[in-house]
Amino acid sequence: MSEMPESMEAARATERANEAIRRFMAARTGRPLWPAERVEYGRLLTVWAEAQRGGLPEAA
């Protein structure tokens, strides 16, 4: 079984994080985020940013 090149893994991690952010925000369309939701949104952004830098976050 061959391993996926690191850049492809990072791209997939970025896409997964981006999709998690989209789902999170779509579920809250039309209203401001509550304090706990702002914390979760910040966590999702951190996961996305790490994936953008080539890190592979555990989960979005």
In a domain, 40, yes or no: yes
Confidence of residue 1 (pLDDT cuts 50, 70, 90): very low
In a domain, 48, yes or no: yes
pTM of the model: 0.78
Residue 23's domain comprises 6-52
In a domain, 1, yes or no: no
In a domain, 29, yes or no: yes
> What is the pLDDT at residue 49?
94
Query: Between the CA of residue 36 and those of 3, 11, 18, 43, what are the distances in Å?
Result: 38, 28, 19, 11
What is the tally of structural domains in the chain?
1
In a domain, 12, yes or no: yes
| pLDDT higher than 80, residue 57 | no
In a domain, 38, yes or no: yes
Reported as a single tens digit per residue, the pLDDT across 7-21 is 888 889 999 999 999
> What is the pLDDT at residue 27?
97
